[in-house]
Amino acid sequence: MATDRRLDRPGPGQGRMLAGVCGGLAQYYGWSLGMVRLVFVITGLFGAGELAYIILWLVMPKR
């Protein structure tokens, strides 16, 4: 059984605030967008969130 799920960043106006990384992760895993953003903010306080966001921004293709 093949699925059409792809991990990608949404375009403008589709749950995107900066680069769309949180929106893409939320859609792919079926999580709440607010929860994903909150996790990135909390992990950003320790320095890991910014690095993860930048890496995902560079790796995830745009929809």
Q: Where are the domains of the chain?
A: 21-59
Residue 38 pLDDT: 93
**H-type alpha helices, the chain:** 21-29, 33-44, 48-59
Positions in the chain whose pLDDT score sits under 70: 1-3, 15
Residue 20 pLDDT: 85
Residue 15 pLDDT: 63
Under DSSP, is residue 54 helix (H, G, I), strand (E, B) or coil? helix
Gap between the Cα atoms of 47 and 30, Å rounded:
26
Residue 45 pLDDT: 92
- Burial class, 42, CB count within 10 angstroms (exposed 0-12 / middle 13-18 / buried 19+): exposed
Under DSSP, is residue 62 helix (H, G, I), strand (E, B) or coil? strand
